[in-house]
Every structure is written in structure tokens, then in C-alpha cells.
Amino acid sequence: MSEFRLTTVEEFEAATARLLETGAKVGADSWQARVKNQTPHCKFGEEGICCRICTMGPCRITKKAPRGICGCDVHGIVGRNYLKFTAGGASAHSDHGREICHTLYETAADGCYKVKDPEKLIRIAKEWGMETEGKDIYELAHEVALEGLMEYGKPFGTQRFLKRAPESQQKLWEENELAPYAIDREVSRSLHMTHMGCSSKPEALVKQAIRCGLGDGWGGSMMGTEFSDILFGTPKPIETEANLGVMVEENVNIVVHGHDPSLSEMICEVADSPEMIAYAKEQGAKGITISGVCCTSNEVAMRRGIPMAGNFLQQENVVLTGACEAIVVDVQCIFPALGPLSKCFHTKFITTSPIAQMPDSEFVRFDAHTAQEKATQIVKMAIENFKNRKPELVHIPQMKQKATVGYSTEAIVKVLDGVTNSQVDETGTTKPLLQCITSGVIRGAVAMVGCNNPKVRPDVAHIELMKKLVANDIIIIASGCSAQAAAKAGLMDKRAKDICGDGLKRVCELADIPPVLHMGSCVDISRMLVLAATLAKDSGLRISQLPVVGCAPEWMSEKAVSIGNYVIGSGLDTYLGVDPYASGSSEMVEILTNGTREWCEAAFTVEKDIDKLGDLMIERIEEKRAALGI
């Protein structure tokens, strides 16, 4: 066995530089060049102090003009912008969840989609007070899907999954009017509040942002996660590989990108068929390789072991290899630049959702009714494109790492059962992890999430923070592009235990886990909420008392703001490496970094120095331990 070592960011960057050389030969654009063209960024925008919600403006706050034309001050403008940002993110994640609800409704014994985890379906149905005895599993699936869809627009009541939280958290939400009602109502209310002539009080705007975020985290995202598990299987540990080296030069390379597993699962299903593999060989290829980018990649990696080609800022790189026959996308985090870039190569850029239509793409409308037919069409398009490769442009960086992925909440509990003395201790709980924490073997945990952002050297913040935290005996649970950064570096290889502190290393050896646990895609941050809630219940503590914090060091999207709001809203302090466009208002800064503690016992910390950000998280975890006397 070769000696294990982490892949460095410098190696990532050298591989990218080589690909950009190929791009330059064919006149391809790149995000690196576009960043330079957009620098310096608008300071009014970065501080959140410009307003364009009516045509009396746009208005921007300066010393000369301290108020907008309507009279709104800087604090109201920044607050409204922050809430709009949150609403955009909550709508995106929750609409993803809605699509999964619809897919669940379309399941049938002889249909394109089937129920792969009937036990979870029955468990959720019972959790929601539904009758399950004597029902056909697909009849039950349709009933649960309809109930889920009602969560988006029901006229009365709060989100069903809120009851998963400890009673102390539910009480806190109730007392501070933070419990979200129908998901769409919270998004709609947010947009109403930010309309001209409505709310301009920062406290009210932030409260609604938290409420809207909670509707996403404990509503739309949680249903997206749970119902995806029912449809495609609840993840359990599985081996895969990560980075561009997973692409195979001799094969037809299809890259799936986006967030909705309904598309990618069907692409994988079809591409794995003997008929398609035979067809690929007829066209001169040795086989078919599916790999992924962004959260779609996380979805198929944790259920099928499909390799991960890269995260958000690597999406152009898969085309720059010259070996990508098709990049097939669904929704969210897709560069419109992929269209013109693909035209510089032989790659087909295939869009599939009416939500995400882009120029210079081939649109194949994908839906649950015709899923297999459309997936077959797409895979055939990719196979038939193999012969159009330009060999002189082909270069796949030979760089990849092994990764163990798929640590759903259920999988984590099962892993813990493996290190429990079943003769003495209770199984099926998080108590073994709690014992590790209370004994000091593990100091705490960090939920590492979020995107890449050119404002932060890509992947550096994720990787360096993880290395620092695991060296201090802090276990990491990761999702989204943060998880892929870890996988590319080798931090999800079980051999990475050797870079951990003695305590965490011992736990990794005993439980046979890597120090960074892959928990899924962006919507799967809802798994982290469930895990935190379970830890709190098993320990008899409030969520806010746990030595656990959240971190998004490279975040960039509206969804990340929604996530941040539901994480602090659930009682977990959250650490950011990128400013949430609120620095122009001293009142907003004070509320977000301190004032929210009054309502939900957690707040944000913003620190652009990554080393200091790590120190602050460690310090906070130790404060929480000290408060508990452990």
C-alpha cells in the first residue's frame, strides 16, 4: 500500500493552470478571468447599502444621503436586502424539496421511480400520525407525498418536522414567534415585508429571515432529504473517489451537475445498463463513466459510489479536460458560462429543467412521467458525441483521492452501535458519541458546509480549517462543496486519521471512520439538524449547550444565507469566512453577531482570516465544554 498523503491546494491549482492553457488555445472564457474583469466589486453592494426595490431610486446610502428617497435609513435597507437574500435561498431549497415530493407521488411498482426505503416511509408516516396498517406501500407513498406538499401552502399550523427538535427548542421558537408556518407563506411574507413601504425595522427583518430559514431547514430541505432517502435509499458508508482524475479518457464521460437527484439517479440507472455500455463500445469507447459536480455529485456518490469530479468552482474544469461528452444539469449553482465554454470543445451542455434554461444549451425537458425515456435520450446523445472528441485537446489531470461517503444520521448511529457494548449500553442512540465528548476524547464537532467563493482562495479555507480542527480532536461533519473539498484533499480517506489528535485518531480507529464524515448535499444539512436534535435529547441538553458549531468559510449563494439562518435559529453558533453584505449597518451587525442570542441562543461570527476563524471555533467549543463542567 502506498504511503498516504493529503493532496494540496497548490496541486489543485497547478492542475487547473494546465487546463486553462488548453482553454486559451480555443479562446475559452474562465471564471478566473471574469473575476478580474469584475474587480473591484461595488462597495455599496458589498455593504448592503443600496436599494432598488422601487423606481424612485435606486438609492444608495452615503454621508451626503443618509436616507433613501422614501426615508428608509441604512439599517432598514441592509435589513431588507438581507431578508430578500434569505427568501431567495429558502425558495430554491424548498422548491427542490417540492420536486422530490412530486417525484414520490409518481412512484409505482411498475414505474420509473420506486420506493427503495419502505421502512423510512412507514416511520415518517407514523411520525405524522398517519395510518399505515394494511396499506399498499405505494398508496402510502402517495399519501405521504400529498401531506408533504401541503406543508408548502397549508392555511394553518406550523411545520410538522419542528416536533423533531427538543422541547426546549420548540418552546424557544414559540416564545419568540420563530416557528415557521407554511413554507411558501414564509417566503411570500418575506417578499411582502421587503416591499416598498413595509418593514424597515432591522429586528423584525432579521426575525423573519430566521423564520423563513427555519421553514427551509425543518421544512422544504428536510422533506427533500427524507423523501430522497425513501426514493433512492438512505445513504450508508460507501467507497468512492474524488477529483478530476476520476474521468476516464477511454470512456464516454458524462458529468451530472446541479442538485436534484431525480435526474442524476435515472442517468446513472440508464448508463449502467448492458445495452448502453454495448452501444458505447460500438461507438469506439471502452465503457461509460459517470461523475459528478456540486450537490448532484454528493447525491449519487453517497448512494451509488459514483465518483466526484469536483465542487462548484471546478465545473468548468470538467469541460476543459476535453474528455467530457456531456455535462447534464438540473438546477442551482450552474454557470451560464458552460454554454459558450462547451462550444469551444465537443461537449454537449444539456439543460433539463424549465427552472434553469440557459443559452447555448440543448434542452431536454425532464420529468417524472418520462424519466427513463429522457435519461436514455441524454445518455445516447453523450455516447454518439464520443467520436467528435478532439484528441489534441484531451488532458485529464491524474489526480484523485479515495473517500468514504454516505454518513446519514442513521448510518452514524449504526456506526456508533458498532463500538457500543450491547450487553450493557443502549443501542440505536448517539450516546457513545456523547461519551466521547464528555470524556474529552473528542472535544466537540463542527458542521462544515457551504460553497466555493473566488473571494476566498478556493478550497483553502475548508481544507485548512478541517486540518486544524481534527488536529485538535474535533470531528467534522461536512456537506455540499465543503464535503467535496475534503474528499479531493483526502480528508475522507480513513487513513487521514493519522493527522488527527490522539483522541479523535483513537475514535476513528475504533469506529473505522474518517475524521471528516460526508453527510450529503446542501439540502442534507437538514440531517445535521436532526443529528444535533438527537444529541440534545440523548444528553438532556439544549442544542445551544452542545459543544458543536457550524461553519461556512467559503459560502456564496442565497441558499447559504437561508442555511445560516436556520442553523443559528436552531441554536448553533455559525462561523463565516465571507461577509453577508450587512457590514454597512452597525445595527444589523450587532443583531446578527449578538442580538439573535436573545431569540435562539446562537449568532454569527464573521472572520476573514481563516486561521483566526479556526481559533474562534475552538475557543467557542471549549467555552461550551467549560459551561457544562466537562
Q: Is the pLDDT of residue 152 over 80?
A: yes
Same domain for 365 and 451, yes or no, is no
Radius of gyration of the chain (CA): 24
The cell for 68 is 433613501
Same domain for 95 and 158, yes or no, is yes
Inside any domain, residue 6: no
Region 520-531: mean pLDDT is 97
Q: What is the pLDDT of residue 496?
A: 98
Distance CA 146, CA 102 (A): 8
Model pLDDT for residues 227-280, shown as the tens digit of each residue: 999 999 999 999 999 999 999 999 999 999 999 999 999 999 999 999 999 999
Model pLDDT for residues 196-221, shown as the tens digit of each residue: 999 999 999 999 999 999 999 999 99
Inside any domain, residue 38: no
Contact between 348 and 362 under an 8 Å Cβ cutoff? The reply is yes
Same domain for 221 and 316, yes or no, is no
Same domain for 570 and 461, yes or no, is yes
Same domain for 438 and 320, yes or no, is no
Same domain for 63 and 138, yes or no, is yes
What's the predicted TM-score (pTM) here?
A: 0.96
Model pLDDT for residues 23-41, shown as the tens digit of each residue: 999 999 999 999 999 999 9
Confidence of residue 224 (pLDDT cuts 50, 70, 90): very high
Q: Is the pLDDT of residue 445 over 70?
A: yes
The cell for 3 is 504511503
Length of the chain: 630
Same domain for 454 and 372, yes or no, is no
Q: What is the pLDDT of residue 421?
A: 55
CATH of the domain at 74: 1.20.1270.30
Kindly give, in sequence order, each residue whose CB lies less than 8 Å from that of residue 187, ignoring residues fewer than 6 positions away.
Answer: 87, 90, 91, 94, 212, 215
Model pLDDT for residues 472-499, shown as the tens digit of each residue: 999 999 999 999 999 999 999 999 999 9
The cell for 509 is 480507529
Q: What is the pLDDT of residue 423?
A: 53
Contact between 370 and 392 under an 8 Å Cβ cutoff? The reply is no
Same domain for 409 and 453, yes or no, is yes
Q: What is the pLDDT of residue 416?
A: 85
Q: What is the pLDDT of residue 266?
A: 97
Same domain for 141 and 204, yes or no, is yes
Among the three residues 393, 424, 445, which one is the final residue of a domain in this structure? Answer: 393
Long-range (24+ apart) CB contacts under 8 A made by 615-621 are 616/575, 617/446, 617/465, 617/469, 617/474, 617/549, 617/551, 617/575, 618/443, 618/468, 618/469, 618/472, 618/474, 620/549, 620/573, 621/443, 621/444, 621/446, 621/474, 621/547, 621/548, 621/549
Mean pLDDT of the chain: 96
CA torsion, points 451, 454, 457, 463, in degrees to nearest 10? 10
Q: Say which residue the cell 469536483 belongs to.
A: 310
Model pLDDT for residues 66-92, shown as the tens digit of each residue: 999 999 999 999 999 999 999 999 999
Inside any domain, residue 35: no
Model pLDDT for residues 52-71, shown as the tens digit of each residue: 999 999 999 999 999 999 99
Q: Is the pLDDT of residue 7 over 70?
A: yes
Inside any domain, residue 30: no
**Which H or E run contains 241?**
strand 238-242
- 446-474 burial, b for 16+ CB within 10 Å, e for fewer? bbbbbbbbbbbebbbbbbbbbbbbbebbb
Same domain for 487 and 359, yes or no, is no
Among the three residues 393, 419, 452, which one is the final residue of a domain in this structure? Answer: 393
CATH of the domain at 285: 3.40.50.2030
Residue numbers of the domain that contains 290: 244-393
Among the three residues 393, 426, 451, which one is the final residue of a domain in this structure? Answer: 393
Inside any domain, residue 15: no
Model pLDDT for residues 493-524, shown as the tens digit of each residue: 999 999 999 999 999 999 999 999 999 999 99
Q: What is the pLDDT of residue 563?
A: 98
Percentage, residues of the chain above pLDDT 70: 99
* 3-state DSSP helix/strand/coil % of the chain, to nearest 5: 55, 10, 35
Confidence of residue 568 (pLDDT cuts 50, 70, 90): very high
Looking at the structure of the chain, the number of domains it has is 3
Inside any domain, residue 325: yes
Model pLDDT for residues 155-199, shown as the tens digit of each residue: 999 999 999 999 999 999 999 999 999 999 999 999 999 999 999
Contact between 15 and 244 under an 8 Å Cβ cutoff? The reply is yes
Region 132-149: mean pLDDT is 97
| Best CA proximity match to 576, nearest among 454, 462, 459 | 462
Q: Is the pLDDT of residue 422 over 70?
A: no
| Lowest pLDDT segment from 398-402, 425-429, 536-540, 602-606 | 425-429
Region 6-32: mean pLDDT is 97
Region 315-324: mean pLDDT is 98
